[in-house]
Amino acid sequence: MTTTMAQALNAALRDALKDDDRVLVFGEDVGTLGGVFRVTDGITADFGEDRCFDTPLAESGIVGFAVGMAMGGFRPVVEMQFDAFAYPAFEQITSHVAKLRNRTRGALEMPMVIRVPYAGGIGGVEHHCDSSEAYYTHTPGLRVVTPGTAQDAYDLLRDAIESPDPVVFLEPKCRYWSSEEVTFTRSGPGMDQALVRRHGKDVTLIAYGPMVATALETAEAAKAEGWDVEVVDLRSLSPFDDETVTASVRRTGRAVVVHEAAGFGGYGAEVVARVTEQCFHQLHAPVLRVTGLDIPYPAPKLERHMLPDVDRILDTIARLQWDDTPVVAGA
């Protein structure tokens, strides 16, 4: 059936609640209101306040409470409401959520999901449009995933809830209302596996979350320039699927990494390093990045200048030394 990403996430939560009595959903305004983006719409009415409930406006308390619930045998799914709202809970996430299983030598698992609506494209102001993925991927002990499609939203959330490890689940806000055909059965690849969304032979676009659709749009536009573009959707940011990504880059010989977050110290730098180290002898040009700007998130009327778009990505592809001229230092 045709559904939006928000509806697919709602369906995933409902199915998880039906299948496992240990699953609980809680956070700010997720109950009666159904969440700011209506991802939890109707869940409290259908499952009761014992299974889906509102919490005080205290992100650190929400995550700390979830840690205790997970230690007690439950499988909490918490919502941070907006990306930058999660920062007060960052100490809990890095000091306890990520480390407790290791600290207890595996005696205690931490089966919890931290849902974080993230990134821009909705005309939001600062504190509402951060791309904070690098903070979480730099923290060992956390799984970090982000869907780029409605189908993946359903599949990945179901897998995340069943994972014995803590999962930071990054939901691209600008894609909540994008719709597609979704099958509410889990038949896709595992949570840790990247996917080739479009096959091509000239260059690999590596994207995730909100930039997957932009990368696919760019691949279509690139036909007019004579480029056959392959698109890889990472899906899992940590752990990283080296096999799928490097196999694609070895086939095409060129790669561009695309993400909304600032470029300096951004997640794309890690992707570039891994691809360069593993595909050096197959590369015809340096691996390039298209990222957000190295500035705090701008006002709504200016965000279009911040976000990577088709034109910026095409301009970057054009820089990939198509004449196979060797790189000259200082050129």
Catalytic residues: 128
**Opening angle at CA 157, ends 310 and 46, nearest 5:** 120
How far does Cα 250 stand from its chain's mean position?
Answer: 24
| Strand-pair partners of 322 | none
Question: Could you give the strand order of the β-sheet that contains 52-54, starting from the edge strand earlier in sequence?
Answer: 52-54, 23-27, 75-79, 113-118, 167-172, 143-145, 236-238
Q: Report how far apart, in Å, the C-alpha atoms of 51 and of each of 18, 158, 209 are.
A: 10, 17, 28
Q: What angle separates helix 267-279 from helix 242-252, to the nearest 10 degrees?
A: 60
